[in-house]
Amino acid sequence: DTDLLDIAYIKDARNGKCTKTPKEAKLRELLDVSTLAGKMENRMLTVVSGPDMVNITYLNFMAFTEDTAKEWAEELFNLASNLFVQNMSREDCLEKVYTRMKLQLNPEGRIPVKNIFRMFSADRKRVETALENCNLPSGRQNDSIPQEDFTPEVYNMFLSNICPRTELDHIFSDVGAKSRPYLNVEQMTEFINNKQRDPRLNEILYPPLKPEQVQVLVDKYEPNASLAQKALKVTGRNGVPGNGMLEVCQISVEGFARYLSGEENSIIPPEKLDQTGQLAGNSSVEMYKQVLLSGCRCIELDCWKGRTTEEEPVITHGFTMTTEISFKEVIEAIAECAFKTSPFPIILSFENHVDSPKQQAKMAEYCRSIFGDALLTDPLEKYL
């Protein structure tokens, strides 16, 4: 079967020292081709993806040049972190499903019916009925549909059968469409002004729409030219949150102050985010990257004294059976992903159980050397 990677599932795209370079000597030798310029890690691209921040996978690619790998990493991350990709409209999501089905073909170039059942798995009987109503094969698991028979119009008919919008039928009936499957411009104008318009608005500053203004909307969004005088297509523009609401335009001083005065258990430390619970499980440096990429701005670091001969401080959930991870690697992970998705400052809450002055000095040095100028070490001048 054809496998696809949904860009909305991409969490990060990494290049350089942050990539998953192979550790096996033979594999490194094969990839580190002498005829290619630049370091191997700079030609690597690691794509981190998954349905959530815990169940993630890594896809590794090798480019011929460092610039190519860097460009792919930057552009992929820009696409994946785009706010509109993360807040797609209903129509965009359904169009993505349609595209996936059109791409995942069997060897004969047809759409397997089993893929449709898999895509809409909630109610198999309803899917069968919807396929039958569209005159498409539905009885056997190994049935398939010719691509030319599964047009966007047929797909929309299939969706209408599998997800009937009874609330829209009530609207059409209330406005006066009765048995007709459309609203004319006058009825649409009445619906917008009397049902959707906020009655608190000043009619001088925000006058009700006129029929000619509604006609402009109809002409723009109705895909069927013969219905241009009768209906309005549902689009992403009609979503509940406006596009301008997706971006944070300013940070709340009151909200930021809550981070500063937050108590110990007001946040979930990443080392506690494992699939087996807080008492046992594998801690992961990757979790710090994932919570930062998701927009988290306050992180707790549960620091403990390392017991190895190198005397390296570690992070773990104290007095449990969770595994230990390197303090230095966590600081490097924070520095890598701190501001990839948000420009706002990060608060690091150190729960320090390290009683060794030598290891405490290491912790301070790691923070200074790895964070560099990003670390706030003195009060800001304008607040003195």
Question: Distance (Å, rounded) from C-alpha 333 to C-alpha 363?
Answer: 15
What value does the mean pLDDT take over residues 27-36? 69
Q: Above 50 in pLDDT, residue 275?
A: no
Question: Distance (Å, rounded) from C-alpha 374 to C-alpha 345?
Answer: 9
Highest mean pLDDT among 175-179, 252-256, 280-284, 361-365: 361-365
pLDDT for 256: 61
Structure tokens at 168: 């829209």
Q: Do 232 and 258 share a structural domain?
A: no
175, part of any domain: no
Q: Above 50 in pLDDT, residue 264?
A: no
Whether residue 55 contacts residue 69, with contact meaning beta carbons closer than 8 Å, is answered with no
Whether residue 315 contacts residue 283, with contact meaning beta carbons closer than 8 Å, is answered with yes
Q: Do 379 and 257 share a structural domain?
A: yes
Q: Above 50 in pLDDT, residue 119?
A: yes
Question: Distance (Å, rounded) from C-alpha 112 to C-alpha 125?
Answer: 17
Provide the domain limits for residue 151.
Answer: 90-162
Q: Above 50 in pLDDT, residue 159?
A: yes
Reference 189, options 216, 220, 152; nearest CA is: 216
Q: How confident is the model at residue 234 (pLDDT cuts 50, 70, 90)?
A: very low
Output DSSP code: residue 369.
H
pLDDT in tens, 69-93: 999 999 999 999 988 887 888 888 8
The number of distinct structural domains making up the chain is 4
How many helical (H) and strand (E) elements, i.e. helices and strands, does the chain have?
Answer: 14, 11
What's the angle, vertex CA 187, arms to CA 186 and CA 193, rounded to 5? 90
Q: Do 271 and 364 share a structural domain?
A: yes
Q: Do 336 and 275 share a structural domain?
A: yes
205, part of any domain: yes
Q: Do 198 and 151 share a structural domain?
A: no
Give Cα separations from 300 to 6, 28, 55, 272, 297 (angstroms): 31, 36, 22, 10, 10
336, part of any domain: yes
What value does the mean pLDDT take over residues 338-359? 93
Q: Do 231 and 109 share a structural domain?
A: no
Q: How confident is the model at residue 231 (pLDDT cuts 50, 70, 90)?
A: very low
pTM value is 0.73
Question: Distance (Å, rounded) from C-alpha 48 to C-alpha 285?
Answer: 14
What's the CATH code of the domain at 345?
3.20.20.190
Q: Above 80 in pLDDT, residue 228?
A: no
The percent helix, strand, coil of the chain (3-state, each to 5) is 45, 10, 40
pLDDT for 292: 94
Q: Do 94 and 76 share a structural domain?
A: no
Q: Above 80 in pLDDT, residue 324?
A: yes
* Phi, psi for 197 (deg, rounded to 5): -70, 140
How many CB atoms are located within 10 Å of the residue 57 CB?
11
Higher-confidence position of 120 and 274: 120
Q: Above 80 in pLDDT, residue 281?
A: no
Q: Above 60 in pLDDT, residue 267?
A: no
Higher-confidence position of 70 and 282: 70
pLDDT for 109: 92
What's the CATH code of the domain at 17?
2.30.29.240
248, part of any domain: no
Q: Do 75 and 124 share a structural domain?
A: no
pLDDT for 26: 80
Q: Do 137 and 44 share a structural domain?
A: no
Q: Above 80 in pLDDT, residue 248?
A: no
Question: Distance (Å, rounded) from C-alpha 124 to C-alpha 66?
Answer: 49
Structure tokens at 253: 């001083």
Q: Is the dihedral of CA 358, 364, 370, 373 positive or negative?
A: negative
Domain C-terminal end among 31, 60, 86: 86
Question: Distance (Å, rounded) from C-alpha 260 to C-alpha 347?
Answer: 8
174, part of any domain: no
First-to-final CA distance of the chain:
63
Report the residue count for the chain.
Answer: 384
What's the CATH code of the domain at 212?
1.10.238.10
Domain C-terminal end among 68, 86, 104: 86
What value does the mean pLDDT take over residues 340-351? 91
362, part of any domain: yes
> What percent of the chain stands above pLDDT 90?
44
Q: Where are the beta strands (DSSP E) in 201-293?
A: 280-281
Whether residue 280 contacts residue 321, with contact meaning beta carbons closer than 8 Å, is answered with yes
Q: Do 222 and 200 share a structural domain?
A: yes
Q: Do 293 and 234 share a structural domain?
A: no
Question: Distance (Å, rounded) from C-alpha 76 to C-alpha 7?
Answer: 8
Higher-confidence position of 29 and 342: 342
pLDDT for 141: 66
What value does the mean pLDDT take over residues 348-368? 95
Q: How confident is the model at residue 352 (pLDDT cuts 50, 70, 90)?
A: very high
Lowest average pLDDT, out of 124-138, 175-189, 190-204, goes to 175-189
Q: Is the dihedral of CA 38, 12, 327, 257 positive or negative?
A: positive
pLDDT for 38: 74
What value does the mean pLDDT take over residues 151-162? 91
